[in-house]
Amino acid sequence: KILRKMADAFKELAATVNSQTAMEVAPFSRACSFVSPLFGCLGIAFKFAEMDYVAKVGDLAEASKSIATLKVMLDRDIEGNCVRKAGSHTRNLLRVKRGLDMVRVLFEQILATEGDSLKDPASKAYAQVFAPHHGWAIRKAVAAGMYALPTKAQLMKKLNEDEASARIQMQHYVAASSSVILYIDKLFLSRELGIDW
């Protein structure tokens, strides 16, 4: 059950945030890896996001072998003067956070909309989270891909969920991921790195 794994992993991360303990890279990257299959279930519109997200989560998982916390990871990149360089852990963390945020907004929109279409929820999530950072060509490709999205019913089938349990898990993910996303934003802002690049 993908949604339950996602929700449970992010509830654990949210508990870490709430206890004011430094977030460790290993459980963070593990929780993020549970989100990867969801992008795959959304079809061609999110194929580029899936590939990018999976690669960046892989980098963070690799980093977790030698770096304990997200704070230490950012501080090392700041010291190495490579925060914004392609492939830096910090840049990858920012991209992964956007993936988590996109899923959060998608779930909020799914929970708030009637009907079987995912086009509106997915379009709103994309417009809010990814579109401001993408060029015209990518935005056009995503817009075209939105017509190939599965229906809600098809998505539930792919996720092996019924609607009632899916809604509960989505609500859990939305609540838990919100505090994790906020934690990451605060990490970036406290180091004056900004979050809009």
SS3 for 43-108 is CHHHHHHHHHHHHHHHHHHHHCCCCCEHHHHHHHHHHCCCCCCCCCHHHHHHHHHHHHHHHHHHHH
Q: Classify 33 as helix, strand or coil.
A: helix
Helix (H, G, I), strand (E, B) or coil at 165: helix
In a domain, 194, yes or no: no
In a domain, 72, yes or no: yes
Q: Provide the residue-wise pLDDT of the chain in tens; the chain has 197 residues.
A: 899 999 999 999 999 999 999 999 999 999 999 999 999 899 888 887 889 999 999 999 999 999 999 999 999 999 999 999 999 999 999 999 999 999 999 999 999 999 999 999 999 999 999 999 999 998 998 898 898 999 999 999 999 999 899 999 999 999 999 999 999 999 999 999 999 99
Kindly state the greatest CA–CA separation across the chain.
50
Does residue 196 belong to any structural domain of this protein?
no
For residue 24, is it within any domain?
yes
Question: Rounded distance, CA 143 to CA 131, Å?
Answer: 10
Kindly state the tokens that stand for 29. 């990257």
Crossing angle for the helix pair 25-33 and 70-79, to the nearest 10 degrees: 110
Asked, for residue 105, whether it belongs to a domain, the answer is yes
- Residue 23 burial (CB count, 10 A): 19
DSSP-based three-state secondary structure for 181: helix
* AA letter at 45: A
59 belongs to a structural domain: yes
Q: How many domains does the chain have?
A: 1
151 phi and psi angles, rounded to 5 deg: -80, 170
170 assigned to some structural domain: yes
- Bridge partners of residue 24, in order along the sequence: 69
In terms of residue numbers, what domain contains 103?
2-189
What's the pLDDT at 175?
97
For residues 107 and 174, is the Cβ–Cβ distance under 8 A?
A: yes
At 97, which CATH number?
1.10.3520.10
Query: Is 92 within the bounds of a domain?
Result: yes
Q: Name the pTM for this structure.
A: 0.95
* pLDDT score at 78: 97
Q: What is the pLDDT of residue 44?
A: 83
* Contact (Cβ atoms closer than 8 angstroms) between residue 60 and residue 96: yes
